[in-house]
Amino acid sequence: MSEGEVFHEKQRLELCAIHALNNVLQERVFTKETADEICKRLAPQCVVNPHRSVLGTGNYDVNVIMAALQSRELAAVWWDKRRTVQNLCMSKVHGFILNVPSRVSLGIVSLPLRRRHWLAVRQVNGQYYNLDSKLKSPVCIGGEAELRTFLTEQLSQDVAEMLLVVRREVEEDGSWLNPDSSSK
């Protein structure tokens, strides 16, 4: 499959969480409206919802991502960065959603600020792709070895975090972790 055949939503407003969800699912499932509904369910009594930007432009938190995945019979497993990505059982992982530092820009001017940004990584037809919504098109990472290198590099940033997107039963039985690595 070429990069042109890989589903890839591009960045709009502060909707990177929605783009990461749709990109990891490889279809447009979630919208700003569905994410806002999830926010309301998570904090029904709040006038100012703590799970999104007060400006209404997005900037959804991890709770929205987790609830969205649960609605699709999937789960988000937080990756403990003290482990090596060699411990991952890749065949059990549907995809990855990373939260990484990202530069802030106004038009063509890059500001000396960094904010948090959600991005997706997913295997499509045997190749892993970086589906960051800030990219012009998907970037082929390669096979499993190249993916492990990519994830290790991303996680080496102090504030980077990673969620494994797995089926619920995989979350429950812990099979996303290689059996020989559970004590590491």
Q: Which residues carry out catalysis? A: 16, 117, 132
Judging by beta carbons within 10 Å of its beta carbon (0-12, 13-18, 19+), is residue 180 exposed, middle or buried? exposed
CA dihedral sign of residues 18, 19, 21, 27: positive
Contact 87, 181 (CB under 8 A): yes
The first and second tokens of residue 85, run together, are 């990505």
Nearest to 120 by CA among 8, 35, 4, 1: 8
